Every structure is written in C-alpha cells, then in structure tokens.
Amino acid sequence: MIIAHAREGFPHEICGILSGQNGQVETVHEATNVAPNPRIRFSMDPKDILRITDEIDDGGRELLGFYHSHCHTQAYPSPTDVADWPGRWYPDALAFICSLMDEERPLLRAFHIAEDGQIEEAQIEIVEGSV
C-alpha cells in the first residue's frame, strides 16, 4: 500500500502514518504533503496528524511509524528527514522510506531515528499484499 501510494503521488513525495498492534502494521493512514516543494520534501499536514492519531487512539491501536517517499534518491533518511523527524514525540516509531529511484524496483526500508540524530536500520518483514 505504501508503494502504491508512492507511485500515485509521483513525482511528489507522499507521506502517512502506520498503525497496528504488537509491532505488526494493520493500517496505512495516508496524509497530505503540505511542503512548499513536494517534489523534494515532505511535511505532513498537522490536521492529518491530529485526525490520524485520534483514530489510532480511539481504535486501541499503536502508532508504529511514519512513512514517506523519495522519488529520486535512495531509501535512507536525508539530513532534512532527520532534522524534521516527527517521531520524536513517538520514540518507538519507525521511519519507513519508499524509494522510487528505480521505478521498476521500488524499495521500502525502515529506520530508528534517535533524538540525537543517530540512524539505525530496522529489520522488517513485508508480507505480500500488506504495506
């Protein structure tokens, strides 16, 4: 679903939030990218963040991560991604990045981004037909 969302939004970066239980993503919540230059940057609409986090809380689920796409670069957090990382309010949340640099072979990776800017790749398992 993240890859499909990224392809639909191309050439703009897309973004959203992932929720579920016990570390397993159950729902992909698409958000609006309100960045002034969405071709090279994302900024999640604060109204969407509030609406989605309310939905997650009301549904008894956990916020597991934030996602966005990189249209022309690798699936790795940029310095801007690290500086603007919305997960600082959710320290256990992962940063999922979908790269469309190779349109035939999109790549989805996940990372822990610490408050001090340290980046560590997280091992994820993608189940056919899921995220």
pLDDT tens digits for range 80-96:
999 988 777 888 999 99
Q: How confident is the model at residue 108 (pLDDT cuts 50, 70, 90)?
A: very high
Q: Is residue 84 part of a domain?
A: yes
Domain that holds residue 81: 2-122
Digit-coded pLDDT (tens) for 45-89: 999 999 999 999 999 999 999 999 999 999 999 999 999 887 778
Question: What CATH number is attached to the domain comprising 20?
Answer: 3.40.140.10
Q: Is residue 98 part of a domain?
A: yes
Q: Is residue 130 part of a domain?
A: no
Q: Is residue 67 part of a domain?
A: yes
Q: Is residue 131 part of a domain?
A: no
For residue 60, give the H/E element and its range.
none
Sequence-distant (≥ 6) Cβ neighbours of residue 82 within 8 angstroms = 113, 117, 119
Number of domains in the chain: 1
Q: Is residue 15 part of a domain?
A: yes
Token digits of residue 76: 């790795």
Q: What is the pTM of this model?
A: 0.93
Bridge partners (DSSP) listed for residue 16: 30, 67
Helix ranges, the chain (H): 2-9, 46-58, 79-83
